[in-house]
Each structure stands twice: as structure tokens, then as C-alpha cells.
Amino acid sequence: MLSFSRSLPLPPLADLLDSAHVVSLPMRVTFRGVTERETVVFRGPAGWGEFGPFPEYGDAEAAAWLRAGIEAAWQGVPEPVRDRVPVNATVPAVPAERVVDVLGGYAGQVHAVKIKVAERGQSLADDVARVAAVRHLLPDAELRVDANAGWDEDDAVTALSALSEFRIAYAEQPVASVEGLASVRRRLREQGVGTLIAADESVRKAEDPLAVARAGAADLIVVKVAPLGGVRRALDVVAQAGLPAVVSSAIDSSVGIRAGVALAAALPELPYACGLGTLSLMTADVTAEPLRPVDGFLPVRDVAVDEALLAEHAITGARRDWWLDRLRRTHAVLAAQ
């Protein structure tokens, strides 16, 4: 349920629209098939919030993203238990020869890398080459792969067995279903492959995010603030699941990354580097001081949104109208709960 409590009332739609800025931030590389990340940021009494559900998401799913943005802007974030959080670099499904350029976007040392695999139109050979390139450049880094449910069970077992030679710590969402995750996990163990299984979409897009834990389908869960409806709801999911958690982003601006950092900073335990370094995949932001990692860490701090950058990257015309109408619809979804 995404209903609002007394501690987080639903603000009037007019307040959201009055402070909403629709922006388009260029990507350094193609990610999820796009080269520009469109999103909305708005201001409330506690600071800035972000609303950037991917365009293909329906209003009911997008409502969680709006709730998360409202929490950040109207309620603020919980008290942290640490003052910085470890983050991984992210390598999209680029050709192996471009891996060095992608990793060059991260300042200082890189201790962990998430590598996209199972991209539509690519082969296992492409994945192997990409992962091999990362391992060659970073022989001591922790590597994890993210398939975004792009394999079936047999392909997942085959691929993860082949990739295991590169010492993969865990694989995010190799297949779509909870039952499939459990099957892949069991089959890998039977073959002596120690790669752990992480559930991502099965947690953040499910009506019951705890089904993964009950089914024994994963060794850890990936949590993202926006799809789960806010930092506090994400903390509750992690506590109830009883599994180690990796905090990740949804390719946000620094406003959304700040919420992810707040979640990571508030978790009692943080055994894995977080997927919050995705601003290194972008060439622009809404702040003059982006939340980009240095030496594999992000500081726990607030973000000062720059009005000049909002104007520079503002979307006008039909696309702006599309986003504001989407905000109206998702606000109505929340109001009806």
C-alpha cells in the first residue's frame, strides 16, 4: 500500500506543479535505450524531491515514485548511522573496447563494478568479453552482473557458469519470476557455481516484495528508493526480508541519488557497495556539485539544486506537458488510496 500517513500527508497538486521543473539530462552512454534522462524535480518544505519513473511504467507503478519524491521534499530523510557509503561503478552493455572509457568516468579507485549483461540483440560472447575487460582492468575489484531478467532459466545457468571464471560475487535478477530465481540458484549450487543471486525487479516491481525471501529465491535483495515508495518504506522491506541489501539508483539526478544515499546511510548493516554512482554515466545534473563517487565512496550530504542548471536543461513544449500530466495522474492515484 502507498497510502499516506499523518506523518506524511499528500500535498496539494498545485504545490507540486508550482515548484516542478521538467529536465532532460544527457547520458554519457546509452542506458536502457536512451541517451537523455528525463525527470521532474520539485521543492517542498524539507527540500527537493524527484519524480522520474521510466516512460513505459503505468500510473499505478509510477505512483510509488511520486510518493518517494514527496517524502524527500515534505518529510526529509531519516537520521544516518554512517557519514559515507561505498558505491560500485556501473558498466552498461557497451562493447568490450569501450569499458576503459566508461570506467574512466569514475574518480579515484574503483572497488566494485556492476556490469550489464543479457542485453537484447547481444550474445553471451558479448557479455563474456565485457566482463573479461572489466576483470582485466580491475583484477581485485568485486564484480557483479545485472541481467534485468533478460535470460530464461537454462540461459541463465549457462551464462553464469561461463562468467564464474571472472569471480562474480552475485547476479542481479537473472530471470523474471521468483520461481525461476529459486531454480537458477539451486541449479548453480548443484554445479558448484558459487555466484550469489540477487533479486531486483522481483522486489521493487512486485505487489509482495517479501515473496523472494519466503521462497528462498535469493541470497540478497536490491532496493531502490523510488520504486519502493520512499526511504522509510524501503527500510521496512529490508527489515522484513531479513536478507542483505544492496541500495541502487534508478538513473536519477543528484536529488534522487541523495534519497538513495539516505537509505544506505540509515541501514543498520551495509555489506555491499551500493549502485548509486550512476551520475558518472551522465554529462549533466541539476546541481553544480553532483553526488559522484570519489575513491569508491559517496558522502552523506544534502544537495543544493541550481536554478541556472534547471533552466539550462529544462524541457519545454509537448514533452513538458506529458510529464506534468503524468504527475497529475499519479497524484490522483495517491489521493484515491
Task: Say how far apart CA 206 and CA 219 lie, in whole Å.
Answer: 17
Is 205 a residue of the active site?
A: no
Active-site residue among 224, 232, 233, 292?
A: 224
Is 116 a residue of the active site?
A: yes
Strand-pairing partners, residue 248, are: 224, 275
Of 326, 239, 333, nearest to 17 by C-alpha is 326
Residues 171 and 147: beta-carbon distance below 8 Å: yes
Task: Say how far apart CA 224 and CA 147 lie, in whole Å.
Answer: 16
Annotated binding site for Mg(2+): which residue ranges?
A: 146, 172, 200
Rounded to a whole number of angstroms, the distance between the first and last alpha carbons of the chain is 8
Active-site residue among 116, 130, 135, 313?
A: 116
Annotated binding site: which residue ranges?
A: 146, 172, 200
Q: Directed axis angle between helix 178-190 and helix 153-163, to 10°?
A: 40
Task: Say how far apart CA 133 and CA 284 lie, in whole Å.
Answer: 27
SS3 letters across 104-117: CCCECCCCEEEEEC
Residues 114 and 152: beta-carbon distance below 8 Å: no
**Three-state secondary-structure class, residue 146:** strand
Report DSSP letters for 18-54, one per residue: HH-EEEEEEEEEEETTEEEEEEEEEEETTEEEEE---
Which residues have a catalytic role annotated?
116, 224
